[in-house]
Homo-oligomer: A and B are copies of this chain.
């Protein structure tokens, strides 16, 4: 019963995502969609990365959560524009929710829009939001077998951020097995190991994002 409906929903989402991308492009915005399990450290990563990336780009954040405004409050405390989407139980963001959030941002005052998706390594993968790059985060305590077990989240990623590398001495995470697992998926994504609370790995990541961002005249091309 579920499959026949799935396609129309996704087709409708795709049209809205393309509209979002065109709207962002018209304002010269570059957009990242961050996907991970609950508790992989997306918000902590942003709290540490935003002060660095703001030296180069004017950044805003859309926070996706099932409930609470906890994350948007943490992000707003970084001094950037932040909008919270509460999905009211839905397990992912979709392009329509993001379109509504864009209405609450001063787009002309931004260069970079970061969307923090609902914590879920499965469902958000199916929904294009209008982003230019899709970033999957995995935390070391989750284990190196996750690309094998949640293949779509990694196969479709433009980059993979491995968070909580400060815990590597305390958790059984096999980095070589992790890399081999990504290779089995033919994933092209580069891996960025990061220990956000220590600031480790953030500069290399920032350079990569800046290099991937189109010049302003071509901003928004995917």
0 or 1 for each of A96-136: is its CB under 8 Å from B? (1 = yes): 00000000000000000000001111110000000000000
Q: Which chain B residues border A123 with CB–CB below 8 Å?
A: 91, 120, 122-123
Q: Which chain B residues border A37 with CB–CB below 8 Å?
A: 37-39, 119, 142
Copies in the complex: 2
Binding site for B on A (CB under 8 A): 1-2, 5, 8-9, 12, 37-39, 65-68, 70-71, 89, 91, 118-123, 139, 141-143, 145-146, 148-152, 164, 166-167, 170-171
Jot down 8 A-B pairs with beta carbons below 8 A, ordered by A: A2-B9, A39-B143, A68-B148, A91-B91, A122-B123, A141-B164, A141-B167, A167-B171
Specify which of A65, A68, A150 lies most central, judged by the most chain B CB atoms within 10 Å of its CB.
Answer: A150
Q: Which chain B residues border A12 with CB–CB below 8 Å?
A: 1
Q: Which chain B residues border A139 with CB–CB below 8 Å?
A: 39, 141
Check A66 against B149 for contact (C-beta < 8 Å): yes
Known A2-B9, A91-B123, A121-B119; judge A67-B143 contact (CB<8 A).
no
CA distance A118 to B5 in the complex (A): 22
